[in-house]
Amino acid sequence: MNIDGKAYRTIWLADDGRSVEVIDQTRLPHAFAVRRLATLPQAADAIRTMVVRGAPLIGATGAYGLALAMAEDPTDAMLDRAYAILLQTRPTAVNLRWALDDLRDRLRQLPPDKRRAAAFARAAAICDEDVAICRAIGDNGLRLIRDIAARKPGGARINALTHCNAGWLATVDWGTALAPIYRAHDEGTPIHVWVDETRPRNQGASLTAFELGRHGVPHTVIADNVGGHLMQHGMVDFCIVGTDRTTRRGDVCNKIGTYLKALAAHDNGVPFYVALPYPTIDWALSDGVREIPIEQRDGREVSHITGRTESGACAEVALVPDGSDVANYAFDVTPARLVTALITERGVCPASEAGLLSLYPERRTRH
């Protein structure tokens, strides 16, 4: 994507060829800063502290984290240690495990002196593939948006609603849920996006609003509890979100609060779409509510909030009285029955095992 006239991905190999650079998402939207990751601990820390976040980008950073580990020590012992360190950084987005499994399986078959180059090459390929996948999700979702636009009287503006950030900042480029919106906007469809602020980390207010604004897409940030009201009053034509892990039956795990939006959409007959790349499908799991591990993060993300003061400085302030307990569940699961359709790089399908298998027939046998 373009920032101040320069094309950026969210992660790239640095000029020295030995480290990677990422956009520091903890600084957005107030500062656009690039951070260098030169070691395994730095890559693991960037994932854990959400310098990088979003399921596909977490996977890409995990892949580069293994490459950085191989540059330091290409032994089997290091491969296993780096795999374990990176895997435990964040538990919910399955793209991380997918990328780490992919690299570990390939590297194990190579002699140690070939592993560093192979790991960097594979991490770069995973990034390129993510860009191609997201572009294809954009094409497939665009067809749905065109259908919605065709049903609007007199070319009236379409209103989408999204939760959290599933745009280019959550992937390597383009995004999952936002890719079809960018495509529709670019081809001249009048589209406006309601952006849920997405407490506690505010990925909607900070990141989705930043992205959409830089791309020129009209949008309005709303408090997390507004969506149901808007849907009751016909002010949302469709909801579209990403996902961090989707089961073979089509249960969708995404940022906390997604489930409530899906319930409101169902009650009001508003289509609820989920956009996802294939590494987000966990073919080993069926029942998302019972089987997907839900990350619980530091309660300080709930009890405090960070923003920019009038003077331009960033500051953290407390919201909750001293002594109150807080709980910070980071994700929830939307059952497949509440999802109108899944939008993947291979096409659009019902959120069901049969739907997913119609696009991924090679998964008919469990493995």
Active site residues: 244
Of 145-153, 162-170, 185-193, 338-346, which segment contacts ligand MRU by CB under 6 A? 162-170
Closer to ligand MRU by CB, 170 or 195: give it.
170
Q: Exactly one of 19, 40, 44, 54 binds ligand MRU (CB under 6 A); which one?
A: 54
Do 336 and 330 meet the contact criterion of CB atoms below 8 Å apart? no
Interface characters, 197-236, with ligand MRU (x: CB under 6 A)? ------x---------------------------------
165 assigned ligand-binding residue: no
Beta strands 20-23 and 11-13, pairing class = antiparallel
184 assigned ligand-binding residue: no
242 forms part of the interface with ligand MRU (CB under 6 A): yes
Closer to ligand MRU by CB, 242 or 250: give it.
242
Measured in whole angstroms, the distance separating CA 139 from the mean position of its chain's CA atoms is 18
Ramachandran bin of 70, using left for φ above 0, alpha for ψ from -120 to 50, beta for the remaining angles: alpha
Helix (H, G, I), strand (E, B) or coil at 55: helix
Of 54-62, 113-121, 152-160, 223-231, which segment contacts ligand MRU by CB under 6 A? 54-62
Cα dihedral 58, 59, 61, 66, rounded to 10, equals 140
**DSSP secondary structure letters along 176-220:** SSHHHHHHHHHTT--EEEEEE--TTTTHIIIIIHHHHHHHT--EE
- Among 130, 353, 101, 134, smallest CA distance to 247 is for 353
Closer to ligand MRU by CB, 120 or 194: give it.
194
Which of positions 308-367 make contact with ligand MRU (CB under 6 A)? 330
Closer to ligand MRU by CB, 242 or 335: give it.
242
Q: Exactly one of 20, 28, 51, 55 binds ligand MRU (CB under 6 A); which one?
A: 55
Q: Exactly one of 130, 173, 196, 244 binds ligand MRU (CB under 6 A); which one?
A: 244
Helix (H, G, I), strand (E, B) or coil at 85: helix
Do 115 and 78 meet the contact criterion of CB atoms below 8 Å apart? no
Least CB distance to ligand MRU at residue 48 (A): 11
Measured in whole angstroms, the distance separating CA 60 from the mean position of its chain's CA atoms is 12
Binding-site residue numbers for substrate are: 53-55, 90, 203, 254-255
The footprint of ligand MRU (CB under 6 A) covers: 53-56, 164-166, 170, 176, 203, 241-244, 254-255, 330
